[in-house]
Structure 1
Amino acid sequence: MDFAELDRTLRESVADLTLDAQEKFELRELGAKLPADRVRYLRNRAFDMARELMLAQPSQTPQTLDSLRWLEQVVKTLDAVAEPPALVSSAFFAPGDACLRKLRELCRSAKRRLEVCVYTISDDRLSEEILACHKRGLEVRVISDNDKRYDEGSDVPRMIELGVPLRLDDSPYHMHHKFALFDGRVLANGSFNWTRSATTSNEENLVVTDDANLVRSFSGHFEALWDKFGR
């Protein structure tokens, strides 16, 4: 969207000096899609338009107040979009079901895609969450270790049978990661294996974060492994 279109969007809003619910929604949606320089442009143009209205009829106090209210609503709406979300990081530990509960919660709240990169998957409660995401139409991809596929209780063969895109390392060494990405914005990583014993017996940890740098780094590594094991 070029600057002329952005200008037109604001002028349509300022025509009646009100920013109704639909216009707020559209402005938020627009602001969320725009780069920072265009959001700044929108904010600056809103100030220019309010100033123009007040200078055009300086003696009309009601219009001046309406102009200021409209400007305040525009700025607040754009600022809400521009503000970076608060960084959230949490740690969970096992034995106990804290790690299990968090992973299930993250799977159920995923809206678009799920990427799982874990050494072994044998806890039915977690494999069912992966399958549920697949059935809901999410983009699901799983990477696991080729040796663990043949362990008693492994859920890897079942997921392959049910059509979950899954790749296994083909080296004499282990693909030993234990991380997952949810919608490309949340990372779960730690020692926690997706097994029953990880919940009932082992000393394990799971860190969940939306740190954009970490998410980007792990996402890039997932893609590298996915390509590597797809040859």
Structure 2
Amino acid sequence: MARHEATPTVGTVLAHLEASIADAHLSDAERRELMALLREGATPEEGLRRVRNRAFELVRERLEGIEAMSLLKWLDGVARALDAVRAPADAVRSESHFSPGHACLRAIQQQLRSARSSIDICVFTLSDDRISAEVLAAHQRGVAVRLITDNDKEFDAGSDIDTLRRAGIAVAVDRTAAHMHHKFALFDGQWLLNGSYNWTRSACEVNEENLVVTNEPGLVAAFAAQFAALWQALATSSKVA
């Protein structure tokens, strides 16, 4: 794509995105040019959000009938370019929590309460109603919530999956012979919560568990790509409830 002598605008960046996705691959050269356009235009935070949102729209428009992983890798490359020009390294924050005790529970509740636009949850089980109440509250205030879980624990005594589904939350269930054993969540595309901690009362009260909360861009992008791949796989195999 030809470079512009004038200061690049957000529109120039969006045009670059649309050109680069044509082959569902963001080359190193295309990623470097994207970063250069963003830096030369001193793109403000609102402009960066527009670019990220358009990137996701372009992928969603093309997912049907196209190899999903190629598009997800393209999207990951765009996200990394945006993150590279956004925040200085000292803006990255990470924290660790451990159980037994309420530190992990409070960290999950805080992220759920702070979310403003989207929450993507990928957990083997969810039976702690203190967490489920916050998930439901986020949904009720208009946050887009998606939940991936495993069928092995879906209807266990105390499971809150069906309650959340009936409340209108989008739920995808892995019904294969293998387990969907992840325990992570993403908030507003900016924060990642991940660790051994199951979203259960026993994890809080008696188990030795760990939980990490971070806004490190590379980790957030990697887990977002994994969530998108799982969601797409479950949707195409007709396992979305």
TM-score (norm 2): 0.64
CA distance in 2, matches of 1:226, 1:217: 14
CA distance in 1, matches of 2:180, 2:86: 39
Partner of 2:64: none
Among 224, 230, 238, the alignment partner of 1:225 is 230
Partner of 1:131: 136
CA distance in 1, matches of 2:194, 2:7: 45
1:3 Cα deviation after fit? 4.1
Q: Percent identity?
A: 48
Larger radius of gyration: 1
RMSD (Å), alpha carbons? 2.1
Q: Which runs of 4+ in 1 moved over 2 A?
A: 2-6, 81-85
Matched, 1:91 2:96: yes
Among 28, 34, 38, the alignment partner of 1:35 is 38
Residue 87 and residue 173 in structure 1: after superposition, are their counterparts in 2 closer, same or farther (change >3 A)? same
Aligned length: 164
Partner of 1:208: 213
1:228 Cα deviation after fit? 1.0
Q: Is the 8 A contact 2:8 2:40 kept in 1?
A: no
Q: 1:150-187 CA deviation, whole Å, 9 max, x = no partner?
A: 11000001011111000000201110000000001100
Q: Is the 8 A contact 2:121 2:147 kept in 1?
A: yes
CA distance in 2, matches of 1:139, 1:194: 20
1:83 Cα deviation after fit? 5.0
CA distance in 2, matches of 1:181, 1:202: 23
CA distance in 1, matches of 2:148, 2:202: 20
1:119 Cα deviation after fit? 0.3
1:193 Cα deviation after fit? 0.4
Among 99, 109, 116, the alignment partner of 2:114 is 109
Structure 2, gaps ≥5 residues long: 10-36, 44-84
1:39 Cα deviation after fit? 1.8
Residue 130 and residue 36 in structure 1: after superposition, are their counterparts in 2 closer, same or farther (change >3 A)? same
Structure 1, gaps ≥5 residues long: 7-33, 41-80
Residue 105 and residue 82 in structure 1: after superposition, are their counterparts in 2 closer, same or farther (change >3 A)? closer
1:90 Cα deviation after fit? 0.5
1:143 Cα deviation after fit? 0.3
Map 1:29-108 onto structure 2 (within 5 A). 35-39=38-42, 84=88, 86-108=91-113
Partner of 2:204: 199
Residue 94 and residue 83 in structure 1: after superposition, are their counterparts in 2 closer, same or farther (change >3 A)? closer
Q: 1:18-75 CA deviation, whole Å, 9 max, x = no partner?
A: xxxxxxxxxxxxxxxx8111129xxxxxxxxxxxxxxxxxxxxxxxxxxxxxxxxxxx
Partner of 2:194: 189
CA distance in 1, matches of 2:121, 2:115: 12
Partner of 1:166: 171
